[in-house]
A = this chain, B = another copy of it.
Amino acid sequence: MSLWQSIADQLRGEIARGKWPPGMRLPPEAELAARFGVNRHTVRHATRVLADEGLLYSRRGAGVFVAAAPVDYPLSDRVRFHRNIELSGKIPGRSIDTIMTRPAGHAEAEALDLDPGAPVHVAEGISLVDFKPVALFRTIYPAELVPDLPAALRSENSVTRALQVCGVDDYQRITTRISARIADAVQAGKLQLEPGDPLLRTEGLSQWRGKMVERALTWWAAERVTLTLPHLPS
């Protein structure tokens, strides 16, 4: 076994036993190098391997931190936040910051197949898992299709249920686009991250009876959530 491998194994064991809990900063490279009696290059090799395994992550200019085991979030044909999180044995939550009706922006009108400036309902807020923020969302709906949605969003505790109240019972995700961004100060504040931390960004479009019913933008705290894609054998 090579030196870096034995150091990686030792650190992996210490993380598993809770010596380094999630969120804790690992000692600086020089300190670890002194402890293991190796050079910094060897320590860096070991921590990079653990980062590849998802056990550690870097924060720019601040060092290497122990990652909490991220929640797996399956991207399926019927994406339902509440049910997905419940299935993983955790407690889903949602805090809505804003519900408003306004004219559709350029990209919104295009995504929802509306005339520019057509009225849309917009809900913005924070998704929680076990009372911890995991994502920011902005969901947009054609106001003409679901006129009473704002009231339903205020009274129901999930978007799925609010749409059901408005008669939309079987909407279907038709496309998902996935990219990555870094958190700005506002996003970091809401997600309890640092500015510059990585975010997964998803854009989902859903249809109901052949009409575009929802555009959902979500910015996921990448250190807390892994998106998963189950493939069906063809």
Contact = CB atoms under 8 A, between A and B. Distances in A.
Interface of A: 1, 5, 8-9, 12, 49, 52-54, 57-58, 60, 70, 72, 75, 77-78, 103, 105-107, 117, 172-182, 184, 195-200, 217, 220, 222, 225-234
This chain: copies in complex: 2
B78 A222 contact: no
Nearest to A79: B231
Contacts of A174: 231, 233
Contacts of A105: 5, 8, 49, 53
Contacts of A182: 58, 60, 182, 196-198
Contact of A172 (B1, B5, B77, B233): B233
Given A77-B232, A229-B176, A181 B200 contact: no
Contact of A199 (B78, B106, B198, B234): B198
A54 B179 contact: yes
A211 B198 CA distance: 34
Interface centre among A180, A182, A222 (most CB of B within 10 A): A180
B199 A180 contact: yes
Contact of A179 (B196, B197, B200): B200
Nearest to A138: B52
Nearest to A48: B184
A179 B226 CA distance: 5
B228 A178 contact: yes
Contacts of A220: 180
A148 B223 CA distance: 38
Given A58-B184, A60-B196, A195-B60, A107 B179 contact: no
Contacts of A60: 60, 182, 195-196
A64 B195 CA distance: 15
Nearest to A172: B233
Given A172-B234, A196-B196, A227 B181 contact: no
A14 to B, nearest CB: 14
Contacts of A49: 105
Contacts of A1: 103, 117
A191 to B, nearest CB: 13
Contacts of A52: 107, 217
